[in-house]
């Protein structure tokens, strides 16, 4: 699956003659739905010890128990409570998303602003690096680096940042290029506005909505990628992450019996809901805050 590219830029048409028959309120509904999902997950991530009935790293019962009143989703291969693991998993996922999203888009914004505003050897070089990063196949590269760095949560974050900054950089650069040739920016430069002032006062305000949407979209992609990497065994095996849960489910043959129903299914639903929540919020933000994209 196109795991990295959760940017929905190409969903937005160039122009259309037919007026959408649904009101603009739809985007609000979509955004609120996404926001609600995220809110629940943030509560899980902030206060897992209040919600989860057990410590997920403790063996609290016999292994491979089916769901019961005490263990709503049964237990895993070493007798840990699966429901508690699921709640705690939100923390790793959201933390991955937030860290990778913020850092990668910050790097991408700086590169995009620089490469779009200035036209010199430095900016050409930067765009070559962007092209190279985007041209390399994402997962094989991530697996290669992950294998060298060794399995750990910190390494996954570093790897994901290394491969996630380029797409936002390119998007922001093209917005900067558009903006720089606008009459009001040319006028500002002509009246003696310094480069720094022009960038801060005129260019960045036009580009920051793209950066904001990209933070959300990159986070979504990072969460999917973290799950994939942990599933491949490149994550920290002791971390309570949804990808790691699926890794152990696969490793202990959970789908040969019935255990997949309460082990694999809820875990995947949590990952999908998290990603979906972010994507919905990102999509709504894009439609809502970018006037030029309205009615599309």
Partner 1 sequence: MRSDSRQPGTGLVNRLLAYFVTLFLALTLNFFLPRAMPGDPMALVAGNSVRQMGAEHIAELRESLGLDRPIGEQYIRYLGQLIRGDLGQSYRYSGGLSVVKVLADRFLWTFMLVLVSLTIATIIGTLLGTWAAWRHGTWRDVGLLSGLFALRSIPAFWLAMILIPVFAVQWRLLPVGDSYSFPRPEGFRRVTDVAYHAILPITVLTLAYIPTPFAIMRSSMLGVVGADYIRTARAKGLSERAVLLNHAARNALLPLVTIVALDFGQLLGGVLIIETVFNYRGLGSMMFEAVKSRDYPLLQGGFLLFTFGVLTVNLLVDLLYTRLDPRVRRGNE
Query: What residues from 26 to 55 belong to the interface with partner 1 (CB under 8 A)?
Result: 26
Q: How many CA atoms lie within 13 A of 8 on its CB side?
A: 19
Residues in 270-289 at the binding interface with partner 1, rule: CB under 8 A: 271-273, 275-276, 279-280, 283
The reply on whether position 205 binds partner 1 by CB under 8 A is no
> Which residues partner with 75 through β-bridges?
81
Cβ atoms of 207 and 172 within 8 Å: the answer is yes
Residues in 235-274 at the binding interface with partner 1, rule: CB under 8 A: 246, 249-250, 255-256, 260, 264-265, 267-268, 271-273
Of the listed pieces 12-20, 39-47, 182-190, 199-207, which binds partner 1 according to CB under 8 A? 12-20
Handedness of CA 85, 274, 138, 215 (dihedral sign): negative
How many Å apart are CA 35 and CA 51, to the nearest integer? 20
In the complex with partner 1, which residue's Cβ is closer, 83 or 247?
247
In the complex with partner 1, which residue's Cβ is closer, 45 or 224?
224
Q: Which two tokens stand for residue 291?
A: 């006037």
CA distances from 43 to 33, 88, 226 (A): 16, 11, 20
Of the listed pieces 8-16, 42-50, 68-76, 182-190, which binds partner 1 according to CB under 8 A? 8-16
Q: What are phi and psi of 80, to 5 degrees?
A: -90, 150
Please, what is the minimum distance in Å from the beta carbon of residue 39 to partner 1? 17
The reply on whether position 86 binds partner 1 by CB under 8 A is no
Q: Which of 22, 50, 120, 190 binds partner 1 (CB under 8 A)?
A: 22
The reply on whether position 224 binds partner 1 by CB under 8 A is yes
Radius of gyration of the chain (CA): 22
Please, what is the minimum distance in Å from the beta carbon of residue 291 to partner 1? 16
What DSSP string describes 148-212?
HH-S-HHHHHHHHHHHHSHHHHHHHHHHHHHHHTSHHHHHHHHTT--HHHHIIIIIHHHHHHHHH
In the complex with partner 1, which residue's Cβ is closer, 1 or 190?
1
Residues in 142-201 at the binding interface with partner 1, rule: CB under 8 A: 143-149, 170-171, 173-174, 177
């Amino acid at each position: 699956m196109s795991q990295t590219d959760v940017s929905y830029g190409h969903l937005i048409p160039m122009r259309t003659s037919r007026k959408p028959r649904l009101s603009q309120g739809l985007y609000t509904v979509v955004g609120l739905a996404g926001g609600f999902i995220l809110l629940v997950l943030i509560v899980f991530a902030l206060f897992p010890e209040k919600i989860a009935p057990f410590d997920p790293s403790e063996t609290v019962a016999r292994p491979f128990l089916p769901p019961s009143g005490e263990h709503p989703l049964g237990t895993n291969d070493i007798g840990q409570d699966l429901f508690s693991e699921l709640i705690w998993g939100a923390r790793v996922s959201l933390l991955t998303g937030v860290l990778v999203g913020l850092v990668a888009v910050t790097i991408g914004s700086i590169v995009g602003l620089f490469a779009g505003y200035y036209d010199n050897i430095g900016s050409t070089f930067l765009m070559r690096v962007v092209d190279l990063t985007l041209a390399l196949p994402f997962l094989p590269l991530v697996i290669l680096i992950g294998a060298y760095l060794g399995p750990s949560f910190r390494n996954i974050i570093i790897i994901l940042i290394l491969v996630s900054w380029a797409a936002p950089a390119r998007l922001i650069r093209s917005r900067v290029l558009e903006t720089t040739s606008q009459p009001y920016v040319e006028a500002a430069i002509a009246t003696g506005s310094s480069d720094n002032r022009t960038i801060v006062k005129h260019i960045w305000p036009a580009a920051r909505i793209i950066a904001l949407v990209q933070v959300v979209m990159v986070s979504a992609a990072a969460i999917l990628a973290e799950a994939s990497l942990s599933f491949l065994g490149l994550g920290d095996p002791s971390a309570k992450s949804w990808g790691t849960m699926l890794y152990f489910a696969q490793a202990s043959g959970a789908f040969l019996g019935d255990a997949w129903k309460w082990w694999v299914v809820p875990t995947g639903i949590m990952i999908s809901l998290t990603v979906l929540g972010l994507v919905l919020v990102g999509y709504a933000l894009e439609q809502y805050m970018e006037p030029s994209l309205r009615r599309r």
